Amino acid sequence: MNAIEITSYGAPEVLQAATRPDPVPGEGELLIRVSASGVNRPDVLQRTGNYPVPPGASDIPGLEVAGVVVAGDAAAMAQAGLALGQRVCALVAGGGYAELCVAPVGQCLPVPEGWTDVEAASLPETFFTVWSNVFDRGALQAGETLLIQGGTSGIGVTAIQLAKARGATVIVTAGSDEKCAACLALGADHAINYKTQDFVAVVKELTQGRGVNVVLDMVAGAYVAREVECMAEDGRIVIIAVQGGTKAEFNAGLVLRRRLVITGSTLRPRPVAFKAKIAQSLCEQVWPLLASRAVKPMVHATFPAAQAASAHALMESGQHVGKIVLTW
């Protein structure tokens, strides 16, 4: 099969086309003939040597795919309601940048009705991540307020739409007035340009001093102290990336007085059973929203797989609004 591999750690140009043996699905797995592969920031981190591949996972980058089922564990597929020839999208621990990809059956979902494979490939990584962190770990409820740091990322545009669909008020930060406008167009209630505004002051003003209930934080570092300042009582800060650094110093007194929770997670190394439970929740709670287009795909750009380096360069530029997808 054709694939894109990381020839050495470094700049986007280290991504090169290669030929690899066809993967073979094992027990509880199926094989997808891939037509589209999502591009995510963890792929960039893997390419630069900052995100080790979990034990047993493919060294080929790529965490989400969409395509057609061509082989697999018949019993496991039947139990999951999946069949040969069916269009699916899947979350994988690696191997997504390839024409063929093995995926655990429990991490596969049918392509939503009316969606293209390119649109479907933009779903798994961000939707699994947002559901697990905003709704499971962060326990966001209808009527609460969510602050999203980085509203135009793939994670951000997903979190905006899901939080709004489930009855929350959404505040986002973004790095330009144009990006703020894009977030508002997606349904965010308020957008803060973090380069020209102090998000702590604006959040306090918007919430009449109460603060937000949940923060989805992809920055960490010095942001954590500022987030603590603008949390409501019993608020939850959920950290899913550390683009601003791994060390944070914050007012622990506020954590005590407001009974705050500071938590976080990474999805890639979690066991299949954990991810399968998320998939089940998505199928029940979110897939109907996708089929009705109450939640819409946000694909910023597509690239032929051979141009994966260009896709990574765009990801690192931060100029995209939504997802970047490779096509095969």
Q: At what angle do helices 154-165 and 177-186 cross, to 10 degrees?
A: 40
- Residue 296, classed as helix, strand or coil, is coil
- Residue 136, classed as helix, strand or coil, is helix
Checking 73-80 for CB contacts under 8 A at 24+ apart, the result is 73/25, 73/26, 73/27, 73/28, 73/29, 73/30, 73/105, 76/27, 76/28, 76/29, 76/30, 76/105, 77/30, 77/105, 79/105, 80/105, 80/106, 80/108
Annotate 185-230 with DSSP letters as a single string.
HHT-SEEEETTTS-HHHHHHHHTTT--EEEEEES--TTHHHHHHHT
The residue type at 16:
Q
From first to last of its 328 residues, the chain has per-residue pLDDT tens of: 999 999 999 999 999 999 999 999 999 999 999 999 999 999 999 999 999 999 999 999 999 999 999 999 999 999 999 999 999 999 999 999 999 999 999 999 999 989 999 999 999 999 999 999 999 999 999 999 999 999 999 999 999 999 999 999 999 999 999 999 999 999 999 999 999 999 999 999 999 999 999 999 999 999 999 999 999 999 999 999 999 999 999 999 999 999 999 999 999 889 999 999 999 999 999 999 999 999 988 999 999 999 999 999 999 998 899 999 999 9
